[in-house]
Copies of this chain bind each other. A is one copy, B any other.
Amino acid sequence: MPYINIKVTDEQVTTEQKRRLIAGATSLMVEVLNKNPETTHVVIEEIPVENWGVNGKQYLGTKK
């Protein structure tokens, strides 16, 4: 039954990356908590960079 919500800045996350995030987050629930993957939901939300703030300032692209 877990529900995982991932919020990231909207910087061209690819379909393949989303696929890996969903698979990885679900596996984590199965491996660590022995949850049923069929009832594990993952929701990815992409936030415009100007809507994300850190250290009191608008975020301006990924620092990797």
Contact = CB atoms under 8 A, between A and B. Distances in A.
Contacts of A1: 8-9, 41, 52, 54, 59, 62
Contact of A36 (B19, B53, B64): B64
Interface residues of A, number: 54
A3 B64 CA distance: 16
Given A25-B28, A54-B41, A57-B23, A6 B17 contact: no
Given A3-B7, A18-B58, A43 B52 contact: yes
Nearest to A32: B20
Interface of A: 1-9, 13, 15, 17-29, 31-47, 50-59, 62-64
